[in-house]
Structure 1
Amino acid sequence: MSTKTATTEQFSSKDFHQTFARPQYVKPPYLIHKNVEQAGVHNQFSTERKHPVFFVDLPSKNVSMTIGGLLPGQMTNRHRHTYETVLYVLEGKGWTEIEDERVEWEAGDAVYIPSWAWHRHKNLSDAEPAKYIACENAPQLQNLGVALREEEGRDL
């Protein structure tokens, strides 16, 4: 009778189809980030992206969430990244250019940005800001070491 346990089992490439994993609840350090926007914009990220961004600080290892803002008339730099993005528009009207397609959006719409697609966002109002929630699988790819982001005109 073997005394090996699931936690000491060693696998090699031939064992890719096997697993002894068992789900287990691990209590995270916290479950809520209250008053996200009261914490203020993330200065470095906002400056680099050229629009206000508020990080939602939760202990997820797979999904991130930010609140993005576009000032009146503002357009972001064209960029791309290896992670997917889903935007949910809270306020305003604008468009997102994804590769060679322009998608117009307004409050209540959701927009999907595929991985590695060149894209940028534009607020169509010259008087009112636009605001959206962005959900991305960036932490998952960062933890795997494969998250990349590229700004148009800059090297990786």
Structure 2
Amino acid sequence: MHYTSKDFDRTTPVLGVEVPSRLVHADVENTAHAAAFSAERKHPVSVVDLPSKTISVTIGGLEPGQTASKHRHTYETILYVLEGEGFTMVEERRVEWKAGDAVYIPAWAWHQHTNRSAVNRCKYVACENAPLMQNLNAALREEAP
């Protein structure tokens, strides 16, 4: 059903449950399409492929001493650091992080992640509202020149 703003009072207050057939994505980091996405992002990234319409989850990493490309997007991100330590530049602000920390990246803020270690890899989980923005036809991502 398609509603417009004039139909606001006609939307039903009764909710139904739609349980998709796929509720688990096994062995996320060893999924075949991770290599292509990682190449595009220029650092290891594994996409959690589940049928969420509003949030996405990825597992990312940076090699020792690696800095990700500077970019921004119209969706919010929360990073949870699993391993390692480093910092993220959010606009002009340096945000230090280590394993166990969570970092917030506001929508459309230029940001760039750096692994401070010369020896150890860092690993994080990124949760974003990208699918929500995609479904609203408002998801944009831009790399710095």
Matched, 1:59 2:51: yes
CA distance in 1, matches of 2:10, 2:86: 48
Matched, 1:141 2:138: no
Which residue of 10, 21, 24 corresponds with 2:16? 24
Q: What TM-score, normalized to structure 2? A: 0.93
Which residue of 102, 116, 121 corresponds with 1:110? 102
Which residue of 115, 118, 123 corresponds with 1:131? 123
- 1:41 Cα deviation after fit: 6.2
Residue 83 of structure 1 is matched in structure 2 by 75
Which residue of 77, 84, 94 corresponds with 2:86? 94
Deviations 1:32-85 (A, max 9, x none): 112211225622321121100011111101100000000010001110000000
CA distance in 2, matches of 1:60, 1:92: 29
Aligned pair count reads 145
CA distance in 2, matches of 1:73, 1:19: 53
- 1:22 Cα deviation after fit: 2.1
Which deviates the most, 45-54 or 118-127?
A: 45-54
CA distance in 2, matches of 1:133, 1:148: 21
CA distance in 2, matches of 1:45, 1:38: 13
Q: How much identity, in percent, do the aligned residues show?
A: 58
* Structure 1 residue runs of 4 or more that deviate by more than 6 Å after TM superposition: none
Judged with a 3 Å threshold, the aligned counterparts in structure 2 of structure 1 residues 27 and 12 are, in CA distance, closer, same or farther, namely closer
Gaps of 5+ in 2: none
- Name the amino acid aligned to 1:134: A
- Name the amino acid aligned to 1:45: F
CA distance in 2, matches of 1:94, 1:40: 28
Does the residue aligned with 2:123 lie in a helix, a strand or coil?
Answer: strand
Gaps of 5+ in 1: 1-6
Q: What TM-score, normalized to structure 1? A: 0.86
Larger Rg: 1
